[in-house]
Structure 1
Amino acid sequence: MEENVTIERVGKESYAEIVDVWEASVRATHDFLSEEDIQFFKPLILNEYLAVVDLCCIRDPSSGRIMGFLGTVGQQIEMLFIHPDYRNKGMGKAFMEYAIRQCKANRVEVNEQNEQAVGFYKHLGFKVIKRCEYDNMGKPFPLLQMML
C-alpha cells in the first residue's frame, strides 16, 4: 500500500458499493455468521447503519473501486471493513491512524469471535474494557468493547 493513501468521505451514492465491500469482508472474516445472519444484517447496514456514521473510504487508484471503508460516531469506531482482495496491504492501519488523528477515536466494539480483528486492535494498543454476551441485536455473538 502506498504511503500517501487518500481517505475520502463518502455519502449515500456509495452505499450499495459499501455494502458489497461489507459483505465480501464479512464472508472472509466472520466465519461464525450463517448465511441467514448475513442476509439479516445486510439490509440493516444499507438502510440504517450507514446513515448514522461518518463514512470514509479508500479507493483503488486505477479502477476507482472502493477497497475498504471506515465508519465512526464521535470517538467510537463503528465499522472498519476491507475487501478481501485488498487485505494485508496496510489499509486497516491507514484507516486507524486517520480515525485516531482526525476523529480522535479511542474506542471500538468488535465481535469476540473475529479473532483477526481483535488481534489487530490489540496490536494497535487497544485493551478490552468490557465483554457483552450478546450483540446489539440480542444475537449470541459476544462483543468486546476496547479502548485505546
Structure 2
Amino acid sequence: MEIRQYRESDLDSVLESWEVATRLAHEFMTDEFIAQERKNVAEMYIPNTDTWVAELDGEVKGFISLMSNEIGAIFLQPNYHGKGIGKALMDKAQFLHGDLEVEVFKENAIGRNFYSKYGFEYLEEKHHEPTGQQLLRLKFTANKSSNRDAVTGAHFLRR
C-alpha cells in the first residue's frame, strides 16, 4: 500500500469511494443530497483541500482530505475496512499536522467507532441544518497518541 498525494486522475476513484462509503455510513441521507454533495466533492472540496490517497496494486481504495488540521473527509471502499488503510491515512494526517479535529454525524456509527479507537475525544455537538442530523466535533491530541489502538475504518464527515 502506498499513501500518496491526490492527482486529478484519481477523481473517479475518489468519488466512488466517497459515495459507497457515504451510503453505507449515512442511511439518513437522501439520494438528492448525496448527488449534490458528490458534485460539491468534485468541484469544491477536493480542489480546496490537501488530499491523500491510499493506493493498492495501482488502484485507489480510499482517501483523506485535510484543511490544515481539520479532517474534511476520510473514506474507504467498504471491502477494505479493517485492513489498516484508514489508520495509515489518519497517521499521515497526524504526521503532517499533529493535533487533528473532525466532525462526524452522530448517526454514523462506523465513523464514530473509527475515531474513538484512533483516540479522538468529544468536544461538542451541534445541529447540521441540511440533513437535520446532529454532528459531533472531535479532537485528536497528538501527545496522547500512544493510547490509541491500531484500527481502521471508513467514514464520511461534515457536509
TM range (shorter): 0.7 to 0.9
TM score, norm. by length of structure 2: 0.81
Q: How many residues align?
A: 140
Tell me: higher relative CO, structure 1 or 2? Use CA pairs within 8 A at least 6 residues apart: 2
**Could you tell me the TM-score, scaled by structure 1's length?**
0.87
- 4+ aligned runs moved over 2 Å, structure 1: 102-105
Q: Would you say 1:121 and 2:150 are equivalent positions? A: no
- SS across alignment from 1:31: coil
Percentage identity across paired residues of the two chains: 24
Extract unaligned runs of 5+ from structure 2.
Answer: 141-159
Q: Is the 8 A contact 2:99 2:139 kept in 1?
A: no
Note if contact 1:77-1:105 (Cα within 8 Å) is conserved in structure 2. no
The structure 2 residue matched to 1:87, chosen from 81, 88, 96, is 81
1:10 maps to what in 2? 6
Tell me the distance in 2 between the aligned counterparts of 1:32 and 1:39.
14
Q: CA deviation at 1:85?
A: 2.0
Q: Is residue 2:90 matched to residue 1:96?
A: yes
Query: Which SS does the other structure have where 1:89 is aligned?
Result: coil
In 2, distance between residues paired with 1:109 and 1:23?
18
What is aligned with 1:74?
68
Counterpart amino acid of 2:55? Answer: R
The alignment's C-alpha RMSD in Å is 1.4
Secondary structure in structure 2 of the residue aligned to 1:123? helix
Whole-angstrom distance in 1 between the partners of 2:114 and 2:56: 23
**1:44 alignment partner in structure 2:** 40
- CA distance, structure 2, for counterparts of residue 105 and residue 23 of structure 1: 27
SS of residue matched to 1:142: strand
Aligned-pair CA distance for 1:105: 4.3
